[in-house]
Structure 1
């Protein structure tokens, strides 16, 4: 039985959309088995790589609303997820080394970032029938334009690799690195497995632990096993929580 420790476990499934319906379903089932219910978030991409649009009235839209009705939090996760901008300087390094053409909001202007944020919010809220919990940029990468747009977007929460914050005020509501996995290469997979194993032993003093999984994780049994072991290890010592609870912290 879980104790009453105020420490929290925040879990999310990224890249949720019709193009990844089966792996998202599989990840949701695995997480619910470990968390004891739908105490996790989904990060919804409205049109992944301009190839998998989320459309009202479709089977996946119905499934998404069912998850929302059961208490799964929904975040807007970009629009296309794909980064088509040309980068220089630090942004180029981030685009090259931190993601594989996935940092959509790294090079957008303020106006374009604001438009995609607003359109994404409208679509996800129309599909689910509920307010979104916030906005999280693809690959957790925000360029200057995106950060300015985010401040006046009306989203209550945003997240990057190291923190969760309130965009309007800039108030940080959680400081914790995200535990995540990589399936793109053998080397990246091995590294992510090692990091997750270390985190299971070293992250316990943190007030909040964040775990993020992706559809690609289901392609490798080693990643699924690591995800299961990691979520189980933290769920035994802390309470699975929802992001909206962070808004109540003072």
Structure 2
């Protein structure tokens, strides 16, 4: 894709053996609009300590197949579960921005570094190629995680409002809010549907637009319809791209 063109970056979060059928449905929906393998997957090594990728050989083979077709594979935390105790602003984020899943918000530098390195080693061993980057669960990073990011050799990282190269946080490669959906309550679903409807025209001027879907999205037809409408709206002006395009 020429550097002057607008791009659409689409990702499936929480890719883990326990969500295989949901990931399949989301991949089918995305590929129907964007074409084969024009999206990223965010892989959780052991979702909530109950779905170890290291023991799921059949799912490992599927991940390798997707990667060989061109799907970008990001490391997405380790457990995706947050067990830290917080005070102040971090406590507000942990309570209101995620349902106990901001794993890297309260980790020490040493623990964040260990989980990032272990996740990178596992995912790269499974797919047989370098991981595309690291994206923290719920897009939340504490100071320890931010320090560790620059030491792990990841090419890219992302939060709610930007994509950057670790070590170069002050010069983002893309800026703008991620369009995503929430399925865990009626109120959150309604607000995410409203934001997506607003974003479809409002974010068109952005050079890079990012969409993120989650396994829980398949439980609500209203969300699936909104995802499809949003993909259709942005593909009118934005070509399906890859995160790696940002490094060119």
Q: Into which bin does the TM-score normalised by the smaller protein fall?
A: over 0.9
The answer (yes or no) to whether the contact 1:68–1:74 under 8 Å persists in 2 is yes
1:129-162 CA-partner distances (Å, limit 9, x unpaired): 1110100000000001000111111111000000
Corresponding residue number in structure 2 for 1:29: 28
Map of 2:142 onto structure 1: 143
1:56 and 1:127 in contact (8 A); partners too: no
TM-score, reference length from structure 1: 0.96
CA distance in 2, matches of 1:130, 1:152: 19
The question of 1:206 aligning with 2:206 is answered yes
Structure 2: runs of 5+ lacking an equivalent: none
Aligned-partner Cα distance in 2 for 1:191–1:43: 24
Question: RMSD value over aligned CA atoms?
Answer: 1.4
Q: How many positions carry a matched residue from both structures?
A: 246
Q: Deviations over 1:203-246 (max 9, x none)?
A: 11111100000000000000000000101111121111000010
Question: Shift of the alpha carbon at 1:5?
Answer: 6.8
d(CA) in 2 for partners of 1:25, 1:32: 10
The answer (yes or no) to whether the contact 2:200–2:234 under 8 Å persists in 1 is yes
Identify the residue that residue 232 of structure 1 maps to in structure 2. 232
What displacement does 1:55 show?
Answer: 2.1
Q: What is the deviation of 1:201?
A: 1.2
User: Which whole-Å CA distance do the structure 2 matches of 1:103 and 1:169 have between them?
Assistant: 22
CA-CA distance at 1:114 after TM superposition = 0.3
Residue segments in structure 1 that go unaligned for 5+ positions in a row = none
The aligned counterpart of 1:94 is: 93
- Give the ranges of 4+ consecutive aligned residues of structure 1 lying more than 6 Å apart after TM superposition: none
Once the two structures are superposed, residues 30-70 of structure 1 have per-residue CA deviations (whole angstroms, 9 ceiling, x without a partner) of 10110012111000000000000102661111111110010
How much does 1:168 deviate? 2.4
Aligned twin of 2:165: 166
Are the counterparts in 2 of residues 9 and 234 from structure 1 also a CA contact under 8 Å? yes
| Structure-2 separation of matches of 1:5 and 1:233 | 20
Distance (Å, rounded) in 1 between the aligned partners of 2:67 and 2:215 = 19
* TM-score in terms of structure 2 length: 0.97
Query: Equivalent residue for 1:68?
Result: 67
CA distance in 2, matches of 1:57, 1:107: 29
Counterparts of residues 1-250 of structure 1 (less than 5 Å): 6-55=5-54, 58-170=57-169, 171-248=171-248
Cα contact 1:5–1:239 (8 A) shared by 2:
no
Provide the secondary structure at the position in 1 that maps to 2:12: strand
